[in-house]
């Protein structure tokens, strides 16, 4: 699977975990040069607290476009160390 934004692949892996329709990529599949800090956080009742990354591609920012659960609840352990995308990021084979 590839995660693409603005025509640039920002993550790629054959090992994704699908939860609620979202592909979670292993952290080592991220092309780190396109990721930047975000202080945005959300809470999911069954997964726990999500922290976010913003994408910066060719000078264009996509705030809070990726998220991860650094310390997921036991029911969501399969997504520990993985990152998912939204906000215009296309995930496809």
pLDDT value, residue 71? 97
Contacts of 75 (CB under 8 A, 6+ apart): 46, 47
Q: Tell me the C-alpha distance between 70 and 60, whole Å.
A: 26
pLDDT value, residue 32? 97
Q: Point out which residues pair with 61 in neighbouring strands.
A: 56
Tokens at residue 75, please?
Answer: 């029911």
pLDDT value, residue 28? 97
Q: Can you give the CATH number for the domain in which 19 is found?
A: 2.170.150.40
pTM for the full model? 0.95
Predicted confidence (pLDDT) per residue in 40-88, tens digit: 999 999 999 999 999 999 999 999 999 999 999 999 999 999 999 999 9
Range of the domain at 11: 2-92
Sign of the torsion formed by the C-alpha atoms of 58, 53, 65 and 32: positive
Count structural domains, the chain. 1
Tokens at residue 45, please?
Answer: 């009742």
Q: How far is CA 46 from the centre of its chain?
A: 18
pLDDT value, residue 83? 98
């Amino acid at each position: 699977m590839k995660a693409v934004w603005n025509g640039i692949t920002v993550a790629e892996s054959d090992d994704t975990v699908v939860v609620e329709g979202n592909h979670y990529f292993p952290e080592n599949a991220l092309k780190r040069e396109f990721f930047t800090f975000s202080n945005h956080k959300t809470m999911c009742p069954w997964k726990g607290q999500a922290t976010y990354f913003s994408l910066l591609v060719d000078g264009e920012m996509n705030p809070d476009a990726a998220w991860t659960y650094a310390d997921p609840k036991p029911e969501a352990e399969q997504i520990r160390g993985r990152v998912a995308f939204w906000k215009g990021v296309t995930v496809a084979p």
